[in-house]
Amino acid sequence: MFYDSLALAYYQAGDLEKAAEEYQKIQGLTSGRMYYGDIYARSFYVLGKINEEQGDAAKASERYEKFLDLWKDADPGIAEVDDAKERLEALKDQ
């Protein structure tokens, strides 16, 4: 849970490398997925944005696809889901 706050702070400060490191730590945790599955899923979304900003379209697409797969049954209208779909579609059109 603390990794998420730290990762977001790095991301908002523009330190993409450190943000990516913290989000990858979230993905490496297994016990917290049961209680904090939303944080785990969102880590793929934000890592996709980071990869996209770094110019790695293939990795960004992979992360968005994973995020969307994890949240395929999410309620409609969740901003991150809609944004990930739009970003993924734009990357495929490139």
How many domains are contained in the chain? 1
Which pTM was predicted? 0.88
Taking only the tens place, the pLDDT of each residue in 19-68 is 999 999 998 877 666 666 788 899 999 999 999 999 999 999 999 999 99
List for the chain the helix, strand, coil content (%; round to 5).
Answer: 80, 0, 20
Instruction: Give the domain CATH number at 45.
Output: 1.25.40.10
Element (H, E) at 67: helix 57-70
Q: What is residue 2's predicted lDDT score, i.e. its pLDDT? A: 83
Structure tokens that stand for 30 in this block: 């297994």
Structure tokens that stand for 47 in this block: 């890592």
Range of the domain at 80: 2-93
